[in-house]
Amino acid sequence: MQEEEPRAPVVRFSEFLGMGYFGDERQDVVAPIFDSRHNAEKGWSRVMDMHGNSPAFHAVFVEHPAKYEFIAYPLAMNPAQINYVIYRSFSSLASLHKFKETHDGRTYIKFGWQDITKPQKFDVLAQYAFVDAVEFLAIQDVKGGTMVDRIRKNEL
C-alpha cells in the first residue's frame, strides 16, 4: 500500500477590498487592494513572506456569466506551515475584460491600498510576487478536483 504525501495546509486569503490592474507592453500588475497601507503590509507579511525574497504564484481568472473569480496560488507549498492562496469573487466582468484585452507580457502580484491622489486610485508596495502564467478559464472549463476547483469551492 502506497502512502500519500502529507498535504500542505492551505487557506484562502481574501481580506482585501478589491483588485487593481495596471501595466504596459512589458509587464502587468495584479494588485489586491486594501483599505490602508498598513493592512496591505500586514497582508503581504502574512501571505508572501514565507516564500522568501522571490515568491512565485500561478494566477487564474474564472469567468462566469455575470461574475468572475480571481485565484492565485504559490508554485511551491510548504507542508510544515499554512500556505495562503489569494481568492476573491467579483460581481462585475468589466475589469476582467479590460485586463484580458490588454494583458501581455510578464505579470506580477503587488499588494496595494486605496489612494485617491493616484491616477488609478490606488498605490502599491514595492515588493512583488512573480506570476509564472495567467490563465483565463470559463467556469465550464474548470476540471473537478484540480487546485483551482478546490480553491473555488474552499475544499482545501
The model's pLDDT over 88-111, given as tens digits with 9 standing for 90+, comes to 999 888 888 888 888 877 999 999
pLDDT exceeds 60 at position 26 = yes
Residue 5 has pLDDT above 60, yes or no: no
pTM above 0.85, yes or no: yes
Cα separation, 40 vs 124, in Å, equals 8
Specify the pLDDT at position 3. 39
Checking if the pLDDT of 62 tops 60, the result is yes
Element (H, E) at 45: helix 37-47
